[in-house]
Amino acid sequence: MMSLRNKGVGNRKSKYSVFCQSSIINQQSSIPPGFTLLELLISLTIIGLILVIVFGALRIGARAWEKGEKDVEIHQIQRIVLENMKRQIASTCLRKIMIEDQKEVFFRGDRASMEFMSRLPMVPTTWSGMVYVKYVVREEEGGEKKRLMLHEKDVVLLEKEKDIDDQDEADFFDLIPGAESIEFEYLKGTKDKDRDPEWQEVWDPDRDTGIPLAVKIIFREDADVPPIYVIARLQSEAKKK
When pLDDT is cut at 50, 70 and 90, the band that residue 106 belongs to is confident
* pLDDT of 72 over the 70 cut: yes
Give the pLDDT score at 1. 46
pLDDT > 70 fraction of the chain, expressed in percent and rounded: 76
Domain ranges of the chain: 69-240
Greater pLDDT, 31 or 195: 195
Q: What pLDDT does residue 215 have?
A: 96
- Model pTM score: 0.69
Mapping DSSP onto H, E and C, the string for the chain reads CHHHHHHHHHHHHHHHHHHHHHHHHHHHHHCCCCCCHHHHHHHHHHHHHHHHHHHHHHHHHHHHHHHHHHHHHHHHHHHHHHHHHHHHHHCECCCCEECHHHCEECEEECCCEEEEEECCCCCCCCCCCCEEEEEEEEECCCCCCEEEEEEEEEHHHHCCCCCCCCCCHHHEEEEEEEECEEEEEEEECCCCCCCCCEEECCECCCCCCCCCCEEEEEEECCCCCCCEEEEEECCHHHHHC
More confident residue, 229 or 99: 229
Give the model's confidence band at 141: pLDDT under 50 very low, under 70 low, under 90 confident, else very high: confident
Residue 129 has pLDDT above 60, yes or no: yes
**Percent of the chain predicted with pLDDT > 90:** 31
Average pLDDT, the chain: 79
What is the average per-residue pLDDT within 208-221?
92
